[in-house]
Each structure stands twice: as C-alpha cells, then as structure tokens.
Amino acid sequence: VRLCKSITFIMLQYSRRTSQPMQLEFVRRSTDLAVTLVAVVFISGCVFYELEQVQEGLYLHTAIYWACVTISTIGYGDYAPDTVAGQLLFPLVIVIVILILPRKISHLFEVMQSFSRSSRRSHRSHHFGQHVVLTGHVTSPSALTFISEFYHQGR
C-alpha cells in the first residue's frame, strides 16, 4: 500500500509541473483508480495465496491471476478455492470491487465531463493580446450592456 501511495505521489508531482488544473485533476483521479485496482488485485491475490496453500502448484502469480479473473467476473474455473476460507474470499472480493470501483469511475467521468464543458466554454489564445469575440445575435443594447459589464470597476 505504501508503494502504491509513493507511486501516486511521484506521478502527481510530475504532472503538477506539466499540467493545467483540470488535467491535473484528471491525472489524479485516473491514477487513484489505477492504484486502487492494482492494490485490490494484488491484496486479494496474496490473501488467496495464503488461504489456499494446500493446493499443489499454486504460486503467487497464479493467485494474482485468480484475482484478475475473479474481479473481471470472467471466472474461467481453472483455479478454484478448495478451503472454506478461500471460498468466502470470492464474494468478499466481488463486494469490495462493486463498492469501490464504480464510485472511483464516476468521479473520473465527472472530471472528464467538466473538462470537456470548460474547454468548450472559452478559448485562451496565447498568440494575441487580450480580446473578446461576441457571437450570436448582437444588438446595440446588448453590446452596450456587455461593454458596461465587462469594463465594470469591480471586475
């Protein structure tokens, strides 16, 4: 878990130097999702390995493979728990994944939606000075209202 947090911290420090705030939030949320998924797979694989050491030919990489197949709900059946504790681990892992991953995925989608909305709202040109482009049906009264609001002292 500490290794996952360290990797997340390093990635965030790098992305802070190179990204805008919305991109930084996207990187943070997607990194959080990836680290959580890897942690759940690794931890459940390790627990499965410890509980099922009675199986001959069960290695740690095989237990992690079982965790991936279990979490993805494919369930090939080539590795199945023999002990009661191992059989109880299966529904526990599924419940944990059902409780954690959808929330993290929805947070990531919220950031993606707000990023696309904000990118459609305005465009900041880096090549020109400050200017404003008005589009739509602009009348004299609406242009005067805009100018008075735009150059208001409180702005």
pLDDT > 90? residue 81: no
pLDDT band per the 50, 70, 90 thresholds, residue 85: very high
pLDDT (tens digit per residue) in 23-48 = 778 888 888 999 999 999 999 999 99
Q: What angle, rounded to 10 degrees, do the helices at 84-121 and 21-51 form?
A: 170
**Domain membership flag for residue 100:** yes
**93 assigned to some structural domain:** yes
Establish if 129 belongs to a structural domain: no
Rounded Cα–Cα distance for residues 21 and 15 (Å): 10
More confident residue, 61 or 73: 61
Residues 111, 25 contacting (CB under 8 angstroms)? yes
> With bands split at pLDDT 50, 70 and 90, how would you rate the model's confidence at 10?
low
Instruction: Give CA–CA dist 74/92, Å, rounded.
Output: 16
Whether residue 131 lies inside any domain: the answer is no
pLDDT for res 64: 93
User: What is the tens place of the pLDDT at every residue in 91-141?
Assistant: 999 999 999 999 999 988 888 887 655 555 555 556 666 677 777 888 888
Instruction: Give me 21's structure tokens.
Output: 């705030």
15 vs 83, more confident: 83
Written in H, E and C, the secondary structure of 65-121 is: HHHHHHHCCCCCCCCCCCCHHHHHHHHHHHHHHHHHHHHHHHHHHHHHHHHHHHHHH
Average pLDDT, the chain: 81
Whether the model clears a pTM of 0.85, i.e. scores above it, the answer is no
Q: What pLDDT score does 60 carry?
A: 92
**78 belongs to a structural domain:** yes
Does position 66 have pLDDT exceeding 80, yes or no? yes
* In-domain check, residue 132: no
Number of domains in the chain: 1
pLDDT of residue 121: 57
Range of the domain at 71: 2-122
138, part of any domain = no
Average pLDDT for 49-68: 89
